[in-house]
Every structure is written in structure tokens, then in C-alpha cells.
């Protein structure tokens, strides 16, 4: 595949799971990849896999909830590549899983920060470079939980809902620069975060109609969104779930 030949793509949370799978898929399609997450060892392993494909990598260990670290990331991308064509905001996680009454306020806020505020910080820091590069694609990895309510895990629901609204607002602000912004909902995926609760091929505990996927099964949709022509969809949700979101 050469759909992304010589494109520059940044994937947050790319040391493992869905982020790693997307980064490798983009590299196979011809892109050079900026890898960022907190775990440098995992990032370096992803980088080795991508370099074996003949593509360039830039590894920048970053806490995407830290404004200073994110600004450093953006500067390194500018210094090394001078452009950015694709941004995948994949980093996130579920931290506070208690009822609201029983929740820890600090953990609740941290959950919101990693799932929503981090997407703002990374996007805000890299938007000027994307505009200078002539436009591109922003893919925010969301969740069906951001489109509906449920007891427990309120922080994750609210964080992903905020990310979805951010996606819509941003799409209305940057279309004139040739930047398309969409949400990708993977549905249940077997990752380190879901280990012990989900088995590939089987249903998750919360939805018998669903089938738990591998991270690699998410990549065709990510590639579809990354390779759409200018004037393609923006401000939309694309979902791999097997039930209404």
C-alpha cells in the first residue's frame, strides 16, 4: 500500500494496543511516524517494528496531559520533519470507576484530563504546523460510552463525551484550512487495559451482540479516514461497534 506515501503522522499512545497498531498500519501505507506515550521502552519497540518497514520514526516520550511536555513534542516535530499531515489522538484510559457519590475527585478530574483535555492540548500545539503543511486529517479515538450515560465510570463517559464535542467544534473551525476532524469508535478491543475482562472473538461482559476485536482490526477504519480526499467527511463519528452508539 502507498496511500500515505511520505505523509507525516503522529499517533499518541502508540507504545501499545490500538495506537501501536495504527502507527504500524500507517507505516505500511508509506507514512513516517512520530511515536509518543509515557513509556519510552514500549515506544522504542514500536519504532523498531516501523523502521524494519523502511519508514522513519521520531520517538518523543510525552505525558500528553502536561502542557510543557506537549509543547516540547510539537517543537520536536517541527524541528525534525517541518510538517505534519495526520494526527491521531489515541491516548486515554479509564481511571475512576466508582459511583459518583463514592468517587475520588482527584481521580475523576484526572480521568477527564487524560480523555479530553489531552486531546485539546496536543491538537492546540500541533494545529499551526498542520495548517502550514496545507491541511490534513485529525482522528480522535473515542468511545460509544461518550455517546450515552451509565452508572459508574462517569468520568470516562464525560471525558469521551467532551472529546466528541471537541471533535465537532474543531471540525467547524478548521475545515477552511483543509483539515478534516473525525471520531473513530473502535468498540470492544482486547488490550492491556481490558486484559482479564475481554477475550478476542467473544462477547464483552456488557454486550452479547458485540465481538471483541484485536487492535489490528481497528486499523482499516483509521486508514480509511486518513486517506480520504480533501472535502471528505468531517465532524463525524465512524464506529466499529455492533450496536447503536
Kindly report, residue by residue over 143-202, the tens digit of the pLDDT. Answer: 999 999 999 999 999 999 999 999 999 999 999 999 999 999 999 999 877 777 888 988
Kindly report, residue by residue over 87-136, the tens digit of the pLDDT. Answer: 999 999 999 999 999 999 999 999 999 999 999 999 999 999 999 999 99
Decide if 177 is inside a domain.
yes
Decide if 29 is inside a domain.
yes
Kindly report, residue by residue over 26-36, the tens digit of the pLDDT. Answer: 999 999 999 99
Decide if 217 is inside a domain.
no
> According to the model, what pLDDT value does residue 2 have?
56
The CA distance from 50 to 34, in Å, is: 11
Domain range enclosing 92? 8-196
Decide if 78 is inside a domain.
yes
Decide if 225 is inside a domain.
no
> According to the model, what pLDDT value does residue 206 have?
83
Question: Would residue 235 be called left, alpha or beta, if left means φ above 0 and alpha means ψ between -120 and 50 degrees?
Answer: left
For β-strands 237-239 and 86-89, DSSP reports them as unpaired
Kindly report, residue by residue over 18-75, the tens digit of the pLDDT. Answer: 999 999 999 999 999 999 999 999 999 999 999 999 999 999 999 999 999 999 999 9
First and final CA of the chain: distance in angstroms?
31
Give the mean pLDDT of 212-234.
Answer: 96
Count Cβ atoms below 10 Å from residue 155 Cβ, excluding itself.
27
Average of per-residue pLDDT values in the chain? 96
Decide if 97 is inside a domain.
yes
Kindly report, residue by residue over 176-187, the tens digit of the pLDDT. Answer: 999 999 999 999
| pLDDT band, residue 1 (cuts 50/70/90) | very low
Residue position matching grid coordinates 467544534: 169
**Percent residues over pLDDT 70 in the chain:** 99
Instruction: Decide: 45 and 37 in contact? Cβ < 8 Å.
Output: no
CATH at residue 34: 3.40.50.720
**Percent residues over pLDDT 90 in the chain:** 89
How many domains, the chain?
1
Residue position matching grid coordinates 521520531: 58
Is there a catalytic annotation at residue 224?
Answer: no
Residue 11 to residues 43, 110, 160, 179, Cα–Cα distance (Å)? 11, 21, 18, 16
> According to the model, what pLDDT value does residue 239 have?
98
Decide if 20 is inside a domain.
yes
Candidate list 120, 156, 177, 224, residue with the active-site label: 156
Decide if 218 is inside a domain.
no
Amino acid at each position: 500500500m502507498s496511500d500515505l506515501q511520505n505523509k507525516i503522522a503522529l499517533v499518541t499512545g502508540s507504545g501499545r494496543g490500538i495506537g501501536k497498531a495504527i502507527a504500524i498500519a500507517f507505516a505500511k501505507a508509506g507514512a513516517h511516524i512520530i511515536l509518543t506515550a509515557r513509556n519510552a521502552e514500549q515506544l522504542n519497540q514500536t519504532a523498531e517494528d516501523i523502521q524494519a518497514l523502511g519508514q522513519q520514526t521520531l520517538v518523543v516520550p510525552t505525558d500528553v496531559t502536561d502542557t510543557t511536555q506537549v509543547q516540547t513534542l510539537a517543537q520536536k516535530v517541527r524541528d525534525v520533519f517541518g510538517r505534519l499531515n495526520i494526527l491521531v489522538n489515541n491516548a486515554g484510559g479509564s481511571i475512576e470507576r466508582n459511583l459518583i457519590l463514592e468517587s475520588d475527585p482527584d481521580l475523576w478530574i484526572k480521568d477527564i484530563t487524560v480523555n479530553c483535555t489531552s486531546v485539546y492540548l496536543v491538537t492546540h500545539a500541533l494545529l499551526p504546523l498542520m495548517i502550514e503543511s496545507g491541511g490534513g486529517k485529525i482522528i480522535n479515538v473515542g468511545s460509544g460510552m461518550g455517546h450515552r450515560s451509565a452508572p459508574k465510570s462517569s468520568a470516562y463517559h464525560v471525558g469521551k463525551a467532551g472529546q466528541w464535542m471537541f471533535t465537532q467544534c474543531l471540525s467547524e473551525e478548521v475545515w477552511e484550512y483543509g483539515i478534516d476532524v473525525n471520531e473513530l469508535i473502535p468498540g470492544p478491543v482486547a488490550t492491556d487495559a481490558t486484559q482479564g475482562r475481554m477475550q478476542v472473538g467473544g462477547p464483552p461482559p456488557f454486550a452479547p451482540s458485540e465481538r471483541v476485536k484485536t487492535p489490528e482490526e481497528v486499523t482499516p477504519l483509521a486508514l480509511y479516514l486518513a486517506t480520504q480526499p480533501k472535502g471528505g467527511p468531517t465532524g463525524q463519528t465512524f464506529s466499529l461497534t455492533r450496536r447503536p452508539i
